Each structure stands twice: as structure tokens, then as C-alpha cells.
Structure 1
Amino acid sequence: MPMNKIRVRVADWLKDNAEIRRIREAVFIAEQSVPPELEWDSDDDGAVHFLAFEGDFPIGTARLLPSGEIGRVSVLKDWRGLKVGDALMEAVIAETERRGQTRQFLSAQVYAAPFYERLGFKVVSDEFLEVGIPHVDMVRGD
């Protein structure tokens, strides 16, 4: 069965809340055992959210904070390895550039650092633990 085209759009935190929550709960809370009280924070209200779709089905999400910090990048397990993450990140980076933010930063899980390096991010910290998972800080742009 051929894959439908992957597309990404800016999401509405209120209108798209159930879909964003479904993806992040599956990836971070169920798969990675992040405590729910750490997954959901007050930053969600002021963030720009993104949803990736295969056809009409939401399969990935990410958020962009006003500071230029990118986070909560997540793709449902069955759709990994299909460049969904690339499509999401390209959309997020395009949005930051549209806003005149030439520098983007994020905390990456260490295993995912090579993925972000391909997109132009550089590791700028030692490893540290966040919710029990090794992370590094990464920056892209000036």
C-alpha cells in the first residue's frame, strides 16, 4: 500500500488538543515513561504547535516556544523512519525564520542528536539527564 504524502501544518492548541495529546502521550508517557505532570506544562499555551499528517491522520507533533526553543518533537512508532521528523522540523525551522528568529535551540535525547545534526544543529553541552533520559543541548543558526 503506497504511503500517502506526509504534510505538516501549524496546529491550534485548543482545537487540535486531543490529537497533540494523543501523540505525545503515546511517545513520551507510554513509550518513554515521562511522568504526565512533567509532559504537560504551562509552555503549551504560548507555544506554536505543529501536526504532521499522513492523509488525514495526525502522526507527529512538535512545538515552538517564543524564545526559539523547539521541543516535544514526536512521531508515532509506526511512522518512524519515513522522514516525518524531517518534515516536522523543516516546518518548525521555516516558521522560526518567518518570525525572524535565525537561531533555534532544543534539548535532544542523545540517541536523536545525529538526526538534528543532519538538520544543521550542533551539540553545545555535555550530556545531562532530563526525566531520566540522557539529553544534550543543541543550537542551529547564529
Structure 2
Amino acid sequence: MNVKVVENEKELEDAFSVRRTVFIDEQNVPAEEEIDELEDEATHFVSYLEGSPIAAGRFRVVDGYGKVERICVLKEARKTGSGKAMMNEIEAYARKNGQHKLKLNAQTHAIPFYAGLGYEVVSEEFLDAGIPHKTMIKNI
């Protein structure tokens, strides 16, 4: 498994492909909400297994926090450590770029995953794209 910062258009399209499969096809998020106006200001990440993209995520700096967004893993690659590898790579990138506080909006079913990585819930439940979420933070 190889997680990397997106460096070219092919890698970006690979990341978007994973995001479309998970969020649009699987979770029914509207396409215009998934690929949004913030893509150009984000740093994108993609993970490959045997040359095929299996996971994606993006990172931005917002209000003094490193904001971890759009973390997703293809169904067939879940429970393989690919989500944790993606998060580790994003956290390493954040540290390298001077960020010490991270924030993310976790789908409620994924809260145990993020809690296992040291994130703490700091909000009440809210809906994003019709899906229940809670905000979580972590100091790194």
C-alpha cells in the first residue's frame, strides 16, 4: 500500500474516482456537494494497492486548524489498514507544515475509527449531505 500526496492530474483523478465511488455512488451524496469549490485550495492524498487507487483524502488549513476532509476507502479495501495509513500520512504532512491541531467532521459510524487514532468528539451531531456527523479534534 502506497499513500502519497497528489502530484499530477492522473493522481488527482484517481483520488476523485475513489471519492465518487464511496460518497456519490455508495452514500448518495450529490455530486455537486462532493467535488466542490474548495478542491483547488486543498492538498489531496491518494493511496494505491498494486497500482490501483483504493483510498483518498484531502487537507486544508481552516481557522487555525489543519482540516482533514473527504477520507474514504473503497469497500473492498476496508479493514486492511488503508484508512489508518491515509490518516498517518495526512498527519505527518500536517506536522511537517507546522500544524499542531487537527479537526475533522466524522460520519457518526466512523467515530470509533477516528477515536482509535486519538481524535475526540467536540460537537453535537449535525447533518452534512444528509449524513449524521460530529466534529472531532486532535493535537499532534
TM-score, normalised with respect to structure 1: 0.92
- Equivalent in the alignment of 1:33: 28
- Equivalent in the alignment of 1:82: 80
Alpha-carbon shift at residue 13 of structure 1 (Å):
6.0
Alpha-carbon shift at residue 7 of structure 1 (Å):
1.7
Paired residues for 1:1-142 under 5 Å: 6-12=1-7, 14-67=9-62, 68-141=66-139
Q: Supply the RMSD in Å over aligned alpha carbons.
A: 1.2
Identical counterparts, % of pairs: 39
Q: Give 5+ residue unaligned stretches, structure 1.
A: 1-5
Counterpart contact for 1:46–1:66, Cα < 8 Å: no
4+ aligned runs moved over 4 Å, structure 1 = none
Counterpart contact for 2:12–2:44, Cα < 8 Å: no
Note the alpha carbon deviations across 1:65-99, whole angstroms, 9 max, x for none.
12210000011110000010000000000100011
Alpha-carbon shift at residue 8 of structure 1 (Å):
0.6
Note the alpha carbon deviations across 1:90-129, whole angstroms, 9 max, x for none.
0000100011100000000000001001111000001111
Distance 2:35 2:78 in 1: 23
TM-score, normalised with respect to structure 2: 0.93
Q: Give 5+ residue unaligned stretches, structure 2.
A: none
Distance 1:16 1:7 in 2: 12
Q: Secondary structure at the match of 2:9?
A: coil
